[in-house]
Structure 1
C-alpha cells in the first residue's frame, strides 16, 4: 500500500488550544506509512461567498482545496463554541463543499474528535460537524468518536493522558483503514 495522507483541520485558531494539542498528538501518533498534515490556515479564509468562488478565488481557498484533494482522508479536531461548530470550521466546511456534488473531500473518510470545556467534551459541536461534513461530501465515519471534557486533562497536554493518547491512536488507525 502506498503512503496515506490525512488532512487535519482544527476548529480553534488559538495557538495553545487543547484541540491544537490533540491534532499535534494525532500527527505524532500516525502509524508507519501514514502522514497527517495539519492545515493551519483556516483563519486566512474569507467568509464563504459564491460571488468570490470563481476562477480567481483567493490563494488560501486554493490551498485548502488542494490539500483536501491530495488527502486520502480527513481528521477534524474541534472545540464547541456556544453549543455548536466554531465559525472558522463551519466556513471551511462551506468552502470545501464546493463545487457542489464534486468537493475535494467527496467520498473520502472523515472523523471528528476534540475537546471542550463542557462536561460532555463538545459532543454537540462534534455531531453538528459530522452532519455538516456529511452534507458537504466526505464519507463521515460515524463510529469514530472522541469527545474529551477539557477538565479531565487537569491542565496537562493530551499526550500525558494515556487513555486519550491510546484512543486517538485507535481512531487514526481505524480512519486510515477506511481509505479505499
Structure 2
C-alpha cells in the first residue's frame, strides 16, 4: 500500500496532466491490478479516489464466449473485484465508464485466439447476435460504452479486411433505439 506522500504526488501529477491536456482525461483500470504486490497493487478504493481526475474510465477487461457470444468477466483465483459503474458515478456523476472487451489474456487455446477474427469475418447474423448481447450486458452492468480491445493475429492483413464494416455495424446498432 502506498504512503500518503505517494498518493499526494500522484494526485498532484494527475492535476497537472488535466491542466496540460484539457478537461478530458481517459483513465484505464485493469481488474488484475488489484492482485499486485505493494506499490503495484491498485484496489477498487484507489479507483474510486483516483476517478475524480478522470473524465472517462476504461474498465478492463471482459471476454466473450466464441459459441454463445455471452459476455463475461474472466475467472481468476483469487477472484478479482468487479464493480458496478453506478458505484463510481455516485461520487463522480460526470464520469463515463467504458468496458474493455478482449485483451491479450482472452485466449485459452488456438480457437480462442482467432475468435475475434472469426466474429469480424463471420455472418451478419452472428455479428448482430454478438452486438445485441453486448449491448444488453453493457446496460445490465450500467456501462456507458465499449472499448474493443480485440487481439488480432499478427502479420495477416488480408484476414482483417472486414473490420471497418463490423465496427460500423456496432456503431449503428449502438445508436439504434430498436436494440433497447
TM-score, normalised via structure 2 length: 0.35
Higher helix fraction (1 or 2): 2
Larger Rg: 2
Higher strand fraction (1 or 2): 1
TM-score, normalised via structure 1 length: 0.35
